[in-house]
Amino acid sequence: MKIKSKIIISGVSVILLSILSVSIVISYLVLADSEKRAKKQIERSVKLLSEQFSQTGQSLKATAKKIATDSELGSKLSYIYDSKSDGGVSSILNQESKDLTINLYSLAVAAGAKEVVIYDDSGQWSSAFWVTNDKASMAFPALGENGYYFATVEIGKEVKSSDWKKADKLNKRIQSIAPDQKKEDLRKDIESDNLILTASSPIMVMGLNPETFEEELQKKGLASISWKIDSNFLSRVAELTDSQINLFISNQLSVGTFSKSNKVSKAIRQLVKSKKNNREKVKVS
């Protein structure tokens, strides 16, 4: 190989290998005589990517907890759930749900969240917020009637009464039943060839214990906040590490900064398999 020829040195980040069909490939374009230096650069890039991913997860957990501990949101959610169970007037409950959703919108925008779903104590979703480009959308299930109420505004703008619409279906997939989680949690999912990181935190509200007749914190629901790993995140890490980063799901490119590499090579697949086997051995031993 001539000294001026170029090679691509690649490494695999191990942070996501618990999901069998996901791998992140980090590539570094170097001169052939710099292969040793390139491998060190790959190791540094993998470490930094792992740290950035971990920090994002911790940030999501902190945001979920912040939203879940908002007293106004918790009180409204508890009132709606208890009144619904007692056969409360649907028009009043729908107004309360609208107020709850506007409150969620304010909390989510202030926290910089991209997608948040609030579940009541039965596990049914009660309110949702998500961002698409520069627009913020919010919705809640209509109570006492079919369909949903939703509104879409520019991020940060006030939500007016005229912004609310009624629809039989939403153009956004919302998990209707809350995950079975009783404490703060972080999980990874694959949805439409995207890697989704979701943090959840229980919504606790002061209530009267019927046995002791004393006030105590009671679980009334769950706040779930999701984040999709996107090109902005990978581009930021790629710039910090002076490398190229691609995310592959089921051997297909999901998102990345290196367009010339749209499939995982056989060598990389073998490396991924080797790392997974090593991790499994560690778990067993």
pLDDT in tens, 162-209: 999 999 998 888 887 776 654 557 888 888 778 888 999 999 998 877
- DSSP assignment of 99-155 equals HHHHHHHHHHHHHT-SEEEEEETTSBEEEEEEEETTEEEEEEEPSSSSSEEEEEEET
d(C-alpha 191, C-alpha 181), whole Å: 20
pLDDT in tens, 146-160: 999 999 999 999 999
d(C-alpha 32, C-alpha 254), whole Å: 29
pLDDT above 50: residue 283 = no
pLDDT above 80: residue 103 = yes
Range name among 13-22, 41-50, 110-119, 270-279 with the lowest pLDDT average? 13-22
In the block, which residue shows the tokens 């067993």? 284
Q: Distance between terminal CA atoms of the chain?
A: 43
pLDDT above 50: residue 56 = yes
- The pLDDT, as a whole number, for residue 124 is 92
Percentage of the chain modeled with pLDDT above 90: 39
- The pLDDT, as a whole number, for residue 5 is 36
d(C-alpha 97, C-alpha 80), whole Å: 7
**Who wins on pLDDT, 80 or 285?**
80
Percentage of the chain modeled with pLDDT above 70: 74
- The pLDDT, as a whole number, for residue 13 is 46
pTM of the full structure: 0.80
Contact 114, 64 (CB under 8 A): no
**Who wins on pLDDT, 53 or 74?**
74
Burial 225-255 (b: 16+ CB within 10 A, else e): bbbbbeeebbeebbeebebbbbbbbeeebbb
pLDDT above 80: residue 284 = no
Name which of 48, 58, 54 is nearest 11 in CA terms.
48
- What is the token pair recorded at 201? 């935190």
- What is the token pair recorded at 227? 């984040």
Contact 57, 199 (CB under 8 A): yes
Alpha helix (H) residue ranges in the chain: 35-68, 71-85, 90-111, 231-241, 266-284
- The pLDDT, as a whole number, for residue 190 is 81
d(C-alpha 2, C-alpha 231), whole Å: 34
**Who wins on pLDDT, 144 or 166?**
166
Eight-class DSSP state of 167: E
pLDDT above 70: residue 32 = no
- The pLDDT, as a whole number, for residue 277 is 57
d(C-alpha 97, C-alpha 84), whole Å: 11
Q: Is 205 helix (H, G, I), strand (E, B) or coil?
A: strand
- What is the token pair recorded at 121? 């104590």
Contact 26, 258 (CB under 8 A): no
- What is the token pair recorded at 125? 């979703």
Averaged pLDDT, 81-98: 86
Strand duo 6-13 + 215-228: pairing: unpaired
- The pLDDT, as a whole number, for residue 51 is 87
